[in-house]
């Protein structure tokens, strides 16, 4: 049984205008950390209109979902006491034109010095899934095997179609904004752990990243935990969709470990094709074609079928098959967060979008 956990980033918004509200430290204080949630579970983020939560290490989907519900309620209630609302949305739908202050931590201030305006534009929120691996060598083998599926996961997670009050034309605008950093996008294929560490260190030494935490590949080894960290996902409007994606990521890692032990051939997909597949997934979400792991352009339904076939044995072994299947069918029936935001925009404009993202983010 592989352990796993999730980090989610949220936006704090004005309940009327939807503009980002820079009150993350006030919200963290109002959350009463140490009672319903710990300081480690509710953390500041780069900009002061963002808050991050991190679940404890979990063994089951039910346990993971329970922690996400608890943490969203804690932060959501604290935000309301501070006159704002929590929104589990991956890009700010509207802004008031003024830069949101940076959280005054040395690392974040160094990022502002190094990247200037780019930091001001990081009003984007992701979901990161950590899955425990036996060691870092196995972790690199896992990265080499799961990289071909990351665009599919991105398409399923799309939840950031709007920016500056308008439809961007992309289901995951967050992916485009985040892709401006020097090290981002699909991870390259590595020739073992030594190669991973040598190339990572070279990027930091060259100044492409301040530290290893700024190696923003869509999947990487965590420097803090003995995990593979998948970070291509938009944060999800609903907890159930977050649980679905976390279950799929854990099954991907389990499948990759099994394939490595069985010495199965590595999936082959050139880096430039993976980059193109990522761009297409960010643009279309589940409303277009996807690039299948073998490299051919296919319908979303066909690629998702391949994914479920690929993960079937691992989902069965983990005891997750029934729940993941039900949640996947609901996602296909109701659409991604991007689709629901667009529907709200068409029906009632920005006020309807703000109502959607502030109500669906908090579980009933």
pLDDT in tens, 121-180: 999 999 999 999 999 999 999 999 999 999 999 999 999 999 999 999 999 999 999 999
| pLDDT at position 34 over 80 | no
Of the chain, the end-to-end C-alpha distance in Å amounts to: 30
Over the stretch 134-147, which tens digit does the pLDDT of each residue have? 999 999 999 999 99
How many degrees, rounded to 5, is the angle at CA 317 between CA 313 and CA 318?
120
* Measured distance CA(139)–CA(131) in Å, rounded: 10
- For residue 320, the 8-state DSSP code is -
Asked if residue 31 has pLDDT above 90, the reply is no
Rounded to an integer, what distance in angstroms lies between the CA atom of residue 229 and that of residue 132?
Answer: 9
For residue 334, being part of any structural domain is answered with: yes
Tokens of 330: 């609901």
Does residue 114 lie in a domain region? yes
Residue 1 has pLDDT above 90, yes or no: no
CATH code of the domain in which 70 resides = 3.30.590.20
Query: Is 333 a domain residue?
Result: yes
Beta carbons of 230 and 128 less than 8 angstroms apart: yes
Residue 331's pLDDT is what? 97
Which pLDDT score, from 0 to 100, does residue 36 have?
66
**What would the pLDDT profile of 71-114 be if each residue is shown by its tens digit?**
999 999 999 999 999 999 999 999 998 999 999 999 999 999 99
Q: Is 73 exposed, middle or buried (0-12, 13-18, 19+ CB in 10 A)?
A: middle
C-alpha torsion 228→56→214→79, nearest 10: 140
341 and 87 in contact (C-beta within 8 Å)? no
In a domain, 364, yes or no: no
Confidence category of residue 38, pLDDT binned at 50, 70, 90: confident
What average pLDDT does the segment 294-315 reach?
96
Flag whether 158 is in a domain. Answer: yes
Question: CB of 166 within 8 A of CB of 281?
Answer: no
Contact 353, 85 (CB under 8 A): no
Distance CA 227, CA 209 (A): 21
- In our burial notation (b when 16+ CB lie closer than 10 A, e otherwise), range 75-96 reads bbbbbbebebbbbbbbbbbbbe
Tokens of 223: 């420097």
Lowest mean pLDDT among 29-33, 156-160, 244-248, 330-334: 29-33
Cα 216 to Cα 151: distance, rounded to the nearest angstrom: 15
Q: What percent of the chain has pLDDT over 70?
A: 99
Question: Can you give the pLDDT at residue 33?
Answer: 67
Number of domains in the chain: 1
Q: Which residue range is the domain that position 73 belongs to? A: 4-359
């Amino acid at each position: 049984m592989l352990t796993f956990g999730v980090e989610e980033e949220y936006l704090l918004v004005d309940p009327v205008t939807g503009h980002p509200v820079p009150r993350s430290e006030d919200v963290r204080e109002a959350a009463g950390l140490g009672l319903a949630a710990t300081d480690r579970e509710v953390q500041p983020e780069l900009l002061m209109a963002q808050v991050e939560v991190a679940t404890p290490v979990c063994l089951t989907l039910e346990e993971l979902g329970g922690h996400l519900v608890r943490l969203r309620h804690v932060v959501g209630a604290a935000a309301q006491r501070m006159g704002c609302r929590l929104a589990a949305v991956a890009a700010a739908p509207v802004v008031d034109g003024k830069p949101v202050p940076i959280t005054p931590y040395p690392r974040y201030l160094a990022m502002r010095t190094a990247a200037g305006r780019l930091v001001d534009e990081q009003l984007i929120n992701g979901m990161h899934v950590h899955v425990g691996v036996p060691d870092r060598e196995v972790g690199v083998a896992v990265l080499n095997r799961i990289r071909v599926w990351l665009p599919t996961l991105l398409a399923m997670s799309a939840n950031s179609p709007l920016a500056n009050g308008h439809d961007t034309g992309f289901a995951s605008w967050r992916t485009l904004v985040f892709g401006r950093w020097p090290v981002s996008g699909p991870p390259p294929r590595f020739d073992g752990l030594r190669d991973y560490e040598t190339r990572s260190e070279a990027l930091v030494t060259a100044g492409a990243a301040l530290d290893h935490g700024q190696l923003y590949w869509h999947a990487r080894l965590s420097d803090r935990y003995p995990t593979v960290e998948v970070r291509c996902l938009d944060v999800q409007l609903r907890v159930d969709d977050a649980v679905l994606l976390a279950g799929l990521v854990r099954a991907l890692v389990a499948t990759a470990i099994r394939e490595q032990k069985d010495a199965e051939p590595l999936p082959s997909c050139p880096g430039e094709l993976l980059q193109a597949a990522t761009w297409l997934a960010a643009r279309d979400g589940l409303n277009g074609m996807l690039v299948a792991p073998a490299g051919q352009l296919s319908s979303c339904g066909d690629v998702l079928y391949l994914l479920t076939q690929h993960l079937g044995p691992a989902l069965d072994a983990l005891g997750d098959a029934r729940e993941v299947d039900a949640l996947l069918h609901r996602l296909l029936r109701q659409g991604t967060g991007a689709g629901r935001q667009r529907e709200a925009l068409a029906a009632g404009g920005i006020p309807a979008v703000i109502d959607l993202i502030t109500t669906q983010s908090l579980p009933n």
